[in-house]
Amino acid sequence: MAIQRIVLNEVSYFGPSARTVIPTEVARRGFKKALVVTDKDLMKFGIAQKVIDVLAGANIPYEVYDEIKPNPTVTNVQDGVTAFKKSGADFMVAIGGGSSIDTSKAIGIIINNPEFADVVSLEGVADTKKASIPVIAVATTAGTAAEVTINYVITDEANKKKMVCVDPNDIPCLAIIDAELMTSMPKGLTASTGMDALTHAIEGYITKGAWTISDMFELKAIELIAKHLKTAVDEPNNLEARDGMAVAQYVAGMGFSNVGLGVVHGMAHPLGAFYDTPHGVANALLLPYVMEYNMPSAIAKYRDIAVAMGVDVAGLSDEEAAKAAVKAVKDLSVSINIPQKLSAIGVKEEDLQALAVSAFNDVCTPGNPREASVEDILAIYKSAF
Protein backbone atom coordinates (compact mmCIF):
# COMPACT_ATOMS: atom_id res chain seq x y z
CA MET A 1 0.00 0.00 0.00
CA ALA A 2 1.34 3.42 -0.94
CA ILE A 3 1.31 6.23 1.62
CA GLN A 4 -1.43 8.75 0.77
CA ARG A 5 -1.61 12.42 1.76
CA ILE A 6 -4.60 14.73 2.20
CA VAL A 7 -4.04 18.48 2.70
CA LEU A 8 -7.06 20.69 3.43
CA ASN A 9 -7.45 24.26 4.68
CA GLU A 10 -7.88 24.74 8.44
CA VAL A 11 -11.40 26.13 8.71
CA SER A 12 -14.26 26.73 6.26
CA TYR A 13 -17.69 28.31 6.66
CA PHE A 14 -20.58 27.50 4.32
CA GLY A 15 -23.98 28.98 3.62
CA PRO A 16 -25.60 32.28 2.66
CA SER A 17 -24.11 35.20 4.68
CA ALA A 18 -21.13 33.08 5.85
CA ARG A 19 -19.00 36.20 5.27
CA THR A 20 -20.34 37.66 8.54
CA VAL A 21 -18.08 35.30 10.55
CA ILE A 22 -14.90 36.97 9.26
CA PRO A 23 -14.55 39.49 12.15
CA THR A 24 -14.84 36.70 14.74
CA GLU A 25 -12.08 34.72 13.03
CA VAL A 26 -9.89 37.82 12.58
CA ALA A 27 -10.19 38.60 16.30
CA ARG A 28 -9.57 34.96 17.28
CA ARG A 29 -6.38 34.87 15.22
CA GLY A 30 -5.14 38.28 16.38
CA PHE A 31 -4.90 39.75 12.86
CA LYS A 32 -4.53 43.55 12.69
CA LYS A 33 -4.89 44.83 9.12
CA ALA A 34 -6.07 43.33 5.82
CA LEU A 35 -4.95 43.73 2.24
CA VAL A 36 -8.09 43.02 0.22
CA VAL A 37 -7.10 41.35 -3.06
CA THR A 38 -9.77 41.43 -5.78
CA ASP A 39 -10.51 42.65 -9.30
CA LYS A 40 -12.01 45.78 -10.83
CA ASP A 41 -15.26 44.07 -11.90
CA LEU A 42 -16.01 42.73 -8.43
CA MET A 43 -15.45 46.26 -7.11
CA LYS A 44 -17.56 47.84 -9.86
CA PHE A 45 -20.53 45.51 -9.34
CA GLY A 46 -20.47 45.85 -5.55
CA ILE A 47 -19.71 42.18 -4.80
CA ALA A 48 -16.37 42.86 -3.12
CA GLN A 49 -18.07 45.69 -1.21
CA LYS A 50 -20.31 43.18 0.58
CA VAL A 51 -17.19 41.69 2.15
CA ILE A 52 -15.44 45.03 2.67
CA ASP A 53 -18.56 46.25 4.53
CA VAL A 54 -18.11 43.37 6.98
CA LEU A 55 -14.51 44.47 7.65
CA ALA A 56 -15.51 48.13 7.97
CA GLY A 57 -18.45 47.29 10.23
CA ALA A 58 -16.07 45.54 12.63
CA ASN A 59 -13.51 48.39 12.44
CA ILE A 60 -10.90 46.12 10.85
CA PRO A 61 -8.38 48.32 8.98
CA TYR A 62 -7.85 47.40 5.33
CA GLU A 63 -6.42 48.53 2.01
CA VAL A 64 -7.50 47.32 -1.43
CA TYR A 65 -5.41 45.89 -4.28
CA ASP A 66 -7.83 45.36 -7.20
CA GLU A 67 -5.57 44.93 -10.23
CA ILE A 68 -6.17 41.18 -10.67
CA LYS A 69 -6.65 39.96 -14.26
CA PRO A 70 -8.87 36.96 -15.19
CA ASN A 71 -5.66 35.02 -15.95
CA PRO A 72 -3.36 36.57 -13.33
CA THR A 73 0.19 37.32 -14.36
CA VAL A 74 3.69 37.43 -12.88
CA THR A 75 3.36 41.24 -12.89
CA ASN A 76 0.06 41.01 -10.97
CA VAL A 77 1.82 39.00 -8.28
CA GLN A 78 4.86 41.26 -8.06
CA ASP A 79 2.68 44.38 -7.86
CA GLY A 80 0.65 42.63 -5.15
CA VAL A 81 3.80 41.89 -3.13
CA THR A 82 4.68 45.59 -3.32
CA ALA A 83 1.13 46.57 -2.30
CA PHE A 84 1.19 44.18 0.67
CA LYS A 85 4.53 45.49 1.96
CA LYS A 86 3.43 49.10 1.53
CA SER A 87 0.07 48.55 3.26
CA GLY A 88 1.45 47.31 6.57
CA ALA A 89 -1.12 44.48 6.47
CA ASP A 90 -0.53 41.18 8.27
CA PHE A 91 -3.14 39.12 6.39
CA MET A 92 -5.04 39.09 3.10
CA VAL A 93 -8.71 38.78 2.24
CA ALA A 94 -8.91 37.37 -1.29
CA ILE A 95 -12.31 38.05 -2.86
CA GLY A 96 -13.10 36.38 -6.16
CA GLY A 97 -12.66 33.22 -8.11
CA GLY A 98 -9.41 31.41 -8.76
CA SER A 99 -7.73 34.54 -10.10
CA SER A 100 -7.81 36.60 -6.89
CA ILE A 101 -7.22 33.63 -4.60
CA ASP A 102 -4.35 32.27 -6.73
CA THR A 103 -2.68 35.69 -6.80
CA SER A 104 -3.01 35.97 -3.01
CA LYS A 105 -1.41 32.55 -2.58
CA ALA A 106 1.59 33.62 -4.66
CA ILE A 107 1.87 36.98 -2.86
CA GLY A 108 1.66 35.26 0.55
CA ILE A 109 4.30 32.69 -0.35
CA ILE A 110 6.74 35.32 -1.68
CA ILE A 111 6.34 37.62 1.35
CA ASN A 112 7.50 34.77 3.62
CA ASN A 113 9.87 33.16 1.07
CA PRO A 114 11.49 36.18 -0.66
CA GLU A 115 13.95 33.99 -2.57
CA PHE A 116 11.01 33.25 -4.92
CA ALA A 117 10.38 36.93 -5.74
CA ASP A 118 10.87 36.28 -9.48
CA VAL A 119 7.56 34.29 -9.32
CA VAL A 120 8.59 31.96 -12.18
CA SER A 121 10.68 29.84 -9.78
CA LEU A 122 7.43 28.87 -8.02
CA GLU A 123 6.35 26.75 -10.99
CA GLY A 124 5.84 23.06 -10.27
CA VAL A 125 6.57 21.88 -6.74
CA ALA A 126 8.65 24.70 -5.27
CA ASP A 127 10.76 23.99 -2.19
CA THR A 128 9.35 26.78 -0.02
CA LYS A 129 10.24 26.64 3.65
CA LYS A 130 7.64 28.89 5.29
CA ALA A 131 3.85 28.98 5.18
CA SER A 132 2.18 31.83 3.31
CA ILE A 133 1.04 35.03 4.99
CA PRO A 134 -2.49 34.16 6.29
CA VAL A 135 -5.12 34.30 3.54
CA ILE A 136 -8.88 34.42 4.09
CA ALA A 137 -10.30 33.17 0.79
CA VAL A 138 -13.81 34.39 -0.04
CA ALA A 139 -15.14 32.55 -3.08
CA THR A 140 -17.42 34.47 -5.47
CA THR A 141 -17.55 31.78 -8.17
CA ALA A 142 -18.46 28.10 -7.94
CA GLY A 143 -15.69 26.48 -9.91
CA THR A 144 -12.01 26.64 -9.07
CA ALA A 145 -12.10 25.57 -5.39
CA ALA A 146 -8.92 27.63 -4.97
CA GLU A 147 -9.93 28.23 -1.36
CA VAL A 148 -9.30 24.56 -0.45
CA THR A 149 -6.51 23.54 -2.84
CA ILE A 150 -2.72 23.55 -2.65
CA ASN A 151 -2.51 24.65 -6.31
CA TYR A 152 -2.42 28.02 -7.98
CA VAL A 153 -1.92 29.09 -11.60
CA ILE A 154 -0.05 32.20 -12.74
CA THR A 155 0.56 33.26 -16.34
CA ASP A 156 4.17 33.86 -17.35
CA GLU A 157 3.54 36.58 -19.95
CA ALA A 158 7.10 36.55 -21.28
CA ASN A 159 6.92 32.86 -22.26
CA LYS A 160 3.17 32.68 -23.04
CA LYS A 161 2.83 29.94 -20.45
CA LYS A 162 0.51 29.09 -17.59
CA MET A 163 2.56 28.02 -14.58
CA VAL A 164 0.89 25.49 -12.32
CA CYS A 165 2.31 25.80 -8.81
CA VAL A 166 1.73 23.10 -6.17
CA ASP A 167 2.64 23.93 -2.58
CA PRO A 168 1.05 22.83 0.74
CA ASN A 169 2.41 26.07 2.23
CA ASP A 170 0.00 28.15 0.12
CA ILE A 171 -3.33 26.89 1.46
CA PRO A 172 -5.68 29.59 2.86
CA CYS A 173 -6.17 29.53 6.62
CA LEU A 174 -9.88 30.28 6.26
CA ALA A 175 -12.38 29.70 3.45
CA ILE A 176 -15.73 31.46 3.14
CA ILE A 177 -18.23 29.82 0.77
CA ASP A 178 -21.16 32.25 0.76
CA ALA A 179 -23.74 31.66 -1.98
CA GLU A 180 -25.11 35.20 -1.59
CA LEU A 181 -21.89 36.47 -3.18
CA MET A 182 -22.55 34.30 -6.25
CA THR A 183 -26.08 35.36 -7.24
CA SER A 184 -24.91 38.22 -9.46
CA MET A 185 -22.50 36.03 -11.45
CA PRO A 186 -23.44 36.33 -15.15
CA LYS A 187 -24.97 33.22 -16.76
CA GLY A 188 -21.89 32.56 -18.88
CA LEU A 189 -19.57 32.70 -15.88
CA THR A 190 -21.89 30.49 -13.81
CA ALA A 191 -21.89 27.96 -16.66
CA SER A 192 -18.15 27.95 -17.32
CA THR A 193 -17.07 27.87 -13.67
CA GLY A 194 -19.60 25.13 -12.98
CA MET A 195 -18.19 23.05 -15.82
CA ASP A 196 -14.71 23.76 -14.46
CA ALA A 197 -15.86 22.15 -11.20
CA LEU A 198 -17.28 19.18 -13.12
CA THR A 199 -13.95 18.81 -14.93
CA HIS A 200 -12.14 18.80 -11.59
CA ALA A 201 -14.48 16.13 -10.27
CA ILE A 202 -14.29 13.85 -13.33
CA GLU A 203 -10.54 14.22 -13.84
CA GLY A 204 -9.94 13.82 -10.10
CA TYR A 205 -12.04 10.63 -10.14
CA ILE A 206 -10.18 8.95 -13.01
CA THR A 207 -6.66 10.34 -12.48
CA LYS A 208 -3.83 7.89 -11.75
CA GLY A 209 -3.51 9.15 -8.17
CA ALA A 210 -7.21 8.64 -7.27
CA TRP A 211 -8.00 6.55 -4.19
CA THR A 212 -10.81 5.85 -1.72
CA ILE A 213 -11.12 9.27 -0.06
CA SER A 214 -10.72 11.32 -3.26
CA ASP A 215 -13.22 9.05 -5.04
CA MET A 216 -15.76 9.75 -2.32
CA PHE A 217 -15.35 13.51 -2.77
CA GLU A 218 -15.43 13.48 -6.56
CA LEU A 219 -18.50 11.27 -7.00
CA LYS A 220 -20.51 13.45 -4.61
CA ALA A 221 -19.33 16.57 -6.45
CA ILE A 222 -20.45 15.13 -9.82
CA GLU A 223 -23.86 14.28 -8.35
CA LEU A 224 -24.33 17.78 -6.89
CA ILE A 225 -23.25 19.50 -10.12
CA ALA A 226 -25.60 17.37 -12.23
CA LYS A 227 -28.40 18.33 -9.85
CA HIS A 228 -27.74 22.06 -9.45
CA LEU A 229 -25.71 23.56 -12.32
CA LYS A 230 -28.45 24.12 -14.91
CA THR A 231 -30.75 25.66 -12.30
CA ALA A 232 -27.97 27.95 -11.09
CA VAL A 233 -27.47 29.13 -14.68
CA ASP A 234 -31.18 29.53 -15.48
CA GLU A 235 -32.27 30.96 -12.12
CA PRO A 236 -29.41 33.16 -10.86
CA ASN A 237 -31.16 34.04 -7.59
CA ASN A 238 -31.99 30.44 -6.66
CA LEU A 239 -29.99 30.21 -3.43
CA GLU A 240 -30.48 26.46 -3.10
CA ALA A 241 -28.88 25.85 -6.50
CA ARG A 242 -26.15 28.42 -5.87
CA ASP A 243 -25.34 26.85 -2.50
CA GLY A 244 -25.40 23.36 -4.04
CA MET A 245 -22.85 24.44 -6.64
CA ALA A 246 -20.74 26.26 -4.05
CA VAL A 247 -20.49 23.10 -1.95
CA ALA A 248 -19.97 20.88 -5.02
CA GLN A 249 -16.97 22.82 -6.32
CA TYR A 250 -15.41 22.87 -2.83
CA VAL A 251 -15.86 19.11 -2.42
CA ALA A 252 -14.33 18.52 -5.87
CA GLY A 253 -11.35 20.63 -4.78
CA MET A 254 -10.85 18.54 -1.64
CA GLY A 255 -10.24 15.62 -3.97
CA PHE A 256 -8.34 16.85 -7.01
CA SER A 257 -5.99 19.08 -5.02
CA ASN A 258 -4.63 15.94 -3.40
CA VAL A 259 -4.59 13.46 -6.31
CA GLY A 260 -4.06 15.48 -9.48
CA LEU A 261 -5.90 16.00 -12.75
CA GLY A 262 -5.27 15.04 -16.38
CA VAL A 263 -5.19 16.00 -20.04
CA VAL A 264 -8.27 18.27 -19.98
CA HIS A 265 -6.41 20.68 -17.72
CA GLY A 266 -3.16 20.03 -19.57
CA MET A 267 -4.87 21.17 -22.79
CA ALA A 268 -6.85 24.01 -21.21
CA HIS A 269 -3.83 25.79 -19.69
CA PRO A 270 -2.17 26.60 -23.06
CA LEU A 271 -5.47 28.04 -24.35
CA GLY A 272 -5.41 30.46 -21.41
CA ALA A 273 -1.77 31.35 -22.04
CA PHE A 274 -2.09 31.75 -25.84
CA TYR A 275 -5.51 33.40 -26.10
CA ASP A 276 -6.49 34.44 -22.55
CA THR A 277 -9.38 31.95 -22.88
CA PRO A 278 -11.31 31.80 -19.57
CA HIS A 279 -10.17 28.62 -17.82
CA GLY A 280 -13.69 27.30 -17.25
CA VAL A 281 -14.65 27.70 -20.90
CA ALA A 282 -11.50 25.88 -22.04
CA ASN A 283 -12.14 22.97 -19.66
CA ALA A 284 -15.85 22.75 -20.45
CA LEU A 285 -15.27 22.64 -24.19
CA LEU A 286 -12.52 20.03 -24.04
CA LEU A 287 -14.00 17.73 -21.38
CA PRO A 288 -16.24 15.49 -23.59
CA TYR A 289 -13.50 15.07 -26.22
CA VAL A 290 -10.92 14.01 -23.63
CA MET A 291 -13.46 11.74 -21.91
CA GLU A 292 -13.89 9.90 -25.24
CA TYR A 293 -10.11 9.52 -25.51
CA ASN A 294 -9.80 8.24 -21.93
CA MET A 295 -12.70 5.80 -22.09
CA PRO A 296 -10.61 2.63 -22.65
CA SER A 297 -8.52 3.35 -19.53
CA ALA A 298 -11.33 4.18 -17.10
CA ILE A 299 -14.38 2.34 -18.38
CA ALA A 300 -15.58 0.96 -15.02
CA LYS A 301 -15.33 4.40 -13.42
CA TYR A 302 -17.30 5.90 -16.31
CA ARG A 303 -20.25 3.75 -15.24
CA ASP A 304 -20.05 5.43 -11.80
CA ILE A 305 -19.87 8.85 -13.48
CA ALA A 306 -22.99 8.04 -15.50
CA VAL A 307 -24.88 7.09 -12.34
CA ALA A 308 -23.72 10.28 -10.57
CA MET A 309 -24.90 12.29 -13.60
CA GLY A 310 -28.36 10.76 -13.14
CA VAL A 311 -28.24 8.19 -15.95
CA ASP A 312 -30.10 4.88 -15.50
CA VAL A 313 -27.43 2.31 -16.41
CA ALA A 314 -29.48 -0.81 -15.60
CA GLY A 315 -29.06 -3.29 -18.43
CA LEU A 316 -26.23 -1.33 -20.07
CA SER A 317 -22.82 -2.86 -20.74
CA ASP A 318 -19.79 -1.02 -19.32
CA GLU A 319 -19.09 0.43 -22.77
CA GLU A 320 -22.69 1.60 -23.23
CA ALA A 321 -22.69 3.12 -19.73
CA ALA A 322 -19.39 4.87 -20.45
CA LYS A 323 -20.77 6.37 -23.66
CA ALA A 324 -23.85 7.46 -21.71
CA ALA A 325 -21.57 9.24 -19.21
CA VAL A 326 -19.86 11.20 -22.00
CA LYS A 327 -23.25 12.05 -23.55
CA ALA A 328 -24.63 13.25 -20.19
CA VAL A 329 -21.65 15.58 -19.76
CA LYS A 330 -21.98 16.90 -23.32
CA ASP A 331 -25.76 17.36 -22.98
CA LEU A 332 -25.30 19.38 -19.78
CA SER A 333 -22.64 21.51 -21.48
CA VAL A 334 -24.89 22.18 -24.50
CA SER A 335 -27.89 22.96 -22.28
CA ILE A 336 -26.02 25.82 -20.60
CA ASN A 337 -24.62 27.23 -23.88
CA ILE A 338 -20.97 26.26 -23.56
CA PRO A 339 -19.18 26.64 -26.95
CA GLN A 340 -18.57 23.21 -28.48
CA LYS A 341 -15.74 23.96 -30.93
CA LEU A 342 -12.34 25.62 -30.49
CA SER A 343 -12.83 27.54 -33.74
CA ALA A 344 -15.83 29.26 -32.10
CA ILE A 345 -13.66 30.77 -29.35
CA GLY A 346 -10.94 32.20 -31.57
CA VAL A 347 -8.41 29.36 -31.59
CA LYS A 348 -6.26 29.36 -34.75
CA GLU A 349 -5.65 26.06 -36.54
CA GLU A 350 -2.01 26.92 -37.17
CA ASP A 351 -1.45 27.09 -33.39
CA LEU A 352 -2.68 23.56 -32.66
CA GLN A 353 0.76 21.95 -32.92
CA ALA A 354 2.31 24.46 -30.49
CA LEU A 355 -0.67 24.06 -28.15
CA ALA A 356 -0.21 20.27 -28.22
CA VAL A 357 3.48 20.53 -27.30
CA SER A 358 2.64 22.90 -24.45
CA ALA A 359 -0.17 20.62 -23.22
CA PHE A 360 2.10 17.56 -23.34
CA ASN A 361 4.59 19.38 -21.07
CA ASP A 362 1.90 20.65 -18.66
CA VAL A 363 2.19 19.51 -15.03
CA CYS A 364 -1.39 18.09 -15.09
CA THR A 365 -0.90 15.80 -18.10
CA PRO A 366 1.06 12.97 -16.39
CA GLY A 367 -1.93 12.32 -14.11
CA ASN A 368 -4.10 11.29 -17.06
CA PRO A 369 -5.30 7.65 -16.85
CA ARG A 370 -4.34 7.01 -20.48
CA GLU A 371 -0.88 7.94 -21.72
CA ALA A 372 -1.06 10.74 -24.28
CA SER A 373 1.69 11.68 -26.76
CA VAL A 374 1.97 15.07 -28.48
CA GLU A 375 0.32 13.43 -31.51
CA ASP A 376 -2.56 12.10 -29.38
CA ILE A 377 -3.15 15.52 -27.87
CA LEU A 378 -2.96 17.17 -31.30
CA ALA A 379 -5.61 14.73 -32.52
CA ILE A 380 -7.92 15.67 -29.62
CA TYR A 381 -7.42 19.38 -30.35
CA LYS A 382 -8.24 18.72 -34.01
CA SER A 383 -11.41 16.81 -33.15
CA ALA A 384 -12.45 19.72 -30.92
CA PHE A 385 -11.52 22.33 -33.52
Let me know: does 165 contact 152? Beta carbons within 8 Å: yes
How far is the C-alpha of 299 from the C-alpha of 323, rounded, in Å?
9
- The CB-side HSE value for 199 (13 A sphere, CA atoms) comes to 33
How far is the C-alpha of 67 from the C-alpha of 48, rounded, in Å?
13
Q: Are residues 258 and 377 in the same domain?
A: yes
Q: Are residues 79 and 161 in the same domain?
A: yes
Given a cut of 80, whether residue 1 has pLDDT beyond it is: no
Q: Are residues 229 and 324 in the same domain?
A: yes
Residue 3: inside a domain, yes or no? no
Given a cut of 80, whether residue 129 has pLDDT beyond it is: yes
Residue 46: inside a domain, yes or no? yes
End of a domain among 182, 202, 236? 182
Confidence category of residue 70, pLDDT binned at 50, 70, 90: confident
pLDDT in tens, 81-122: 999 999 999 999 999 999 999 999 999 999 999 999 999 999
Q: Are residues 177 and 322 in the same domain?
A: no
Q: Which residues form the domain of 22?
A: 11-182
Domain total of the chain: 2
Tell me what pLDDT residue 244 has. 97
pLDDT in tens, 146-165: 999 999 999 998 888 889 89
Let me know: does 316 contact 324? Beta carbons within 8 Å: yes
Tell me what pLDDT residue 372 has. 97
Confidence category of residue 133, pLDDT binned at 50, 70, 90: very high
How far is the C-alpha of 382 from the C-alpha of 175, rounded, in Å?
39
The DSSP bridge pattern shows strands 161-166 and 151-156 to be: antiparallel
Tell me what pLDDT residue 383 has. 96
Q: Are residues 155 and 212 in the same domain?
A: no
Residue 290: inside a domain, yes or no? yes
Q: Are residues 23 and 63 in the same domain?
A: yes
Confidence category of residue 26, pLDDT binned at 50, 70, 90: very high
Confidence category of residue 278, pLDDT binned at 50, 70, 90: confident
Q: Are residues 62 and 194 in the same domain?
A: no
pLDDT in tens, 229-246: 999 999 999 999 999 999
CATH of the domain at 117: 3.40.50.1970
Let me know: does 273 contact 358? Beta carbons within 8 Å: yes
